[in-house]
């Protein structure tokens, strides 16, 4: 059984091996490099031979079969429904050699994952609130259009020249829509599980919960453990982070440790009042 499992994994990896730089997809998009590898898709940075502009082309993982194609087709539909200058713009959906592809505009910038873990950026309370307000504006637009993103993690939020951009709508769903069987869902800080029929429908509160985790990632970038704290000591984020009482309450409400916000507009009101506080570090 182990040998069969090994062969199965090897075959899947072989089928999903990224195409080489210079490969032309759809007789139009010249691959420069691979920029993302998710559970169900591979994303390439390409040059559009028709316009000369940079584009992102996402390929459904061949090893995942028809389900990956359906997910990618779903993402294409959502991008068409959410036209926004800070979201990837839908270009086209195409197939070739049995593979499915989604071409969209390439958004340049640094992800917060790169900034925090690669470039050692530090974010204090004021900067965290400023960034979160921008992100929330994008999420409010998404909610107003009737969708939830459901994957608001630091690898999916870009910044360029102080402006925030949002990518990867692969898990997005209509508000209230149940998750289909085997739909990939996130638990906590980004672990993936598999949805069942009993999994709750997509809700605005899920995005707000994600924003709470996003804020904690920003704030932990400036955290330095106390010198006398032992490695075995486990402390809550409330104890580890020296936050103002106001910001701590905001995050607790996002994480539903206190009375949660009624929606994204309710959260925005509190963020706007919070940004004027002089107590923020």
Instruction: At 125, give phi and psi (nearest 5°).
Output: -65, -45
30 to 73, 79, 94: CA distances (angstroms)? 21, 22, 15
How are the residues of the chain apportioned to helix, strand and coil, as percentages rounded to the nearest 5? 40, 20, 40
Q: Are 89 and 98 in contact (CB under 8 A)?
A: no
- In angstroms, the CA 238 to CA 236 distance is 5
Element (H, E) at 111: strand 110-111
> What is the phi/psi pair of residue 25, to 5°?
-100, 135
Reported as half-sphere exposure (CB side, CA atoms, 13 A), residue 251 has a value of 22
CB 157 within 8 A of CB 165: yes
- Kindly write down the DSSP assignment for every residue of 46-59, as one continuous string: EEETTT--EEEEEE
The annotation places the binding site at: 58
CA torsion sign for 36, 77, 150, 177 is: negative
Q: Which residues contact 12 (CB under 8 A, 6 or more apart)?
A: 63
Binding-site residue numbers for ATP are 58
Other Cβ atoms closer than 10 A to 81: 15
The rounded radius of gyration (Å) of the Cα atoms in the chain is 20
């Amino acid at each position: 059984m182990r040998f069969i499992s090994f062969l199965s994994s090897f075959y899947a990896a072989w089928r999903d091996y990224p195409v080489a730089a210079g490969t032309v997809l759809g007789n139009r998009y010249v691959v420069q490099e691979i920029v993302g590898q998710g559970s169900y898709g591979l994303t390439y940075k390409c040059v559009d031979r028709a316009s000369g502009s940079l584009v992102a082309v996402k390929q459904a993982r061949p090893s995942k079969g028809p389900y990956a194609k359906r997910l990618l087709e779903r993402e294409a539909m959502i991008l068409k429904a959410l036209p926004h200058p800070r979201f990837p713009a839908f270009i086209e959906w195409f197939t070739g050699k049995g593979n499915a592809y989604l071409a969209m505009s390439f958004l340049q910038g640094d992800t917060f994952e790169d900034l925090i873990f690669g470039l050692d950026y530090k974010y204090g309370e004021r900067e965290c609130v400023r960034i979160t307000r921008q992100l929330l504006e994008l999420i409010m637009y998404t909610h107003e259009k009737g969708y939830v993103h459901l994957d608001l993690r630091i690898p999916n939020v870009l910044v360029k020249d102080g402006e925030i951009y949002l990518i990867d709508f692969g898990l997005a769903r209509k508000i209230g829509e149940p998750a289909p069987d085997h739909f990939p869902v996130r638990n906590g800080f980004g672990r993936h599980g598999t949805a069942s029929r009993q999994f709750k429908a997509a809700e605005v509160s899920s995005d707000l919960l994600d924003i709470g985790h996003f804020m904690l990632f920003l704030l932990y970038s400036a955290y330095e453990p106390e010198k006398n704290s032992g490695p075995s000591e486990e402390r809550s984020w409330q104890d580890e982070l020296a936050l103002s009482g106001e910001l701590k309450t905001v995050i607790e409400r996002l994480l539903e440790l206190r009375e949660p916000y009624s929606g994204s507009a309710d959260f925005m009101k509190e963020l706007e009042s919070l940004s004027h506080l002089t107590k923020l570090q």
